[in-house]
Amino acid sequence: MAEAKALTVRTPKFGEIEIPEDKIVFFSEGIPGFSGIRRFAILEFEELAPFRYLQSLDDPPITLLIINPFLLRLGYEVQVEPGEFEDFRANDQSDISVYAVATIPENVANATVNLMAPILINEKTRRGKQVILLDSRFSVQHALLTPPGQDGARAT
């Protein structure tokens, strides 16, 4: 039986990591701010759950902390134009995982999550895309931690 191919990447944050080829996520347009970076991997660490890292494989110092925004229970919705799915070869929304980029500063109480521009990943084709939600009540700096009874909306 043939061994699965893997890409070895040396990262400043995690040291040398091996990413199986079938776990590489390709962003044909890159992501905003990193348009030249096309290959990423999602790294999971049990002690950081429910957070994960979106690790650049083309520029290893680039690492984004991400979270499934539906875990935040904010009534979050992602509505994208049908053409958006064609861009990363998705036939069905059930094939798509949704992530939001989180920023956790030294003072954790000020942690935010970008709910205006979710990252969509087609789990079957390993294609990804970050989309901008134009009609959203959520912002690029939505409070991650909110007092009970508040939705955590923050002005951008």
As to burial, measured by CB atoms within 10 angstroms (0-12 exposed, 13-18 middle, 19+ buried), residue 89 is middle
Domain residue spans of the chain: 6-143
Q: Decide yes or no: CATH 3.40.630.30 for domain 6-143.
A: no
Mean pLDDT of the region 97-120:
93
Q: Is the pLDDT of residue 150 over 90?
A: no
Task: Give the distance from CA 147 to its chain's centroid.
Answer: 25
pLDDT of residue 25: 96
pLDDT of residue 88: 66
d(CA 137, CA 115): 9
pLDDT of residue 86: 67
Q: Which residue has better confidence, 92 or 40?
A: 40
Q: Is the pLDDT of residue 52 over 50?
A: yes
Residues 72-90: pLDDT tens digits? 877 888 877 766 666 666 6
Q: Is the pLDDT of residue 131 over 60?
A: yes
Q: Residue 114 in 3-state DSSP? A: strand
pLDDT of residue 155: 34
pLDDT of residue 79: 77
CA dihedral 129, 66, 149, 138 (to 10 degrees): -30
Question: Closest Cα to residue 151, out of 100, 79, 75?
Answer: 75
pLDDT of residue 1: 52
Task: Record the pTM.
Answer: 0.85
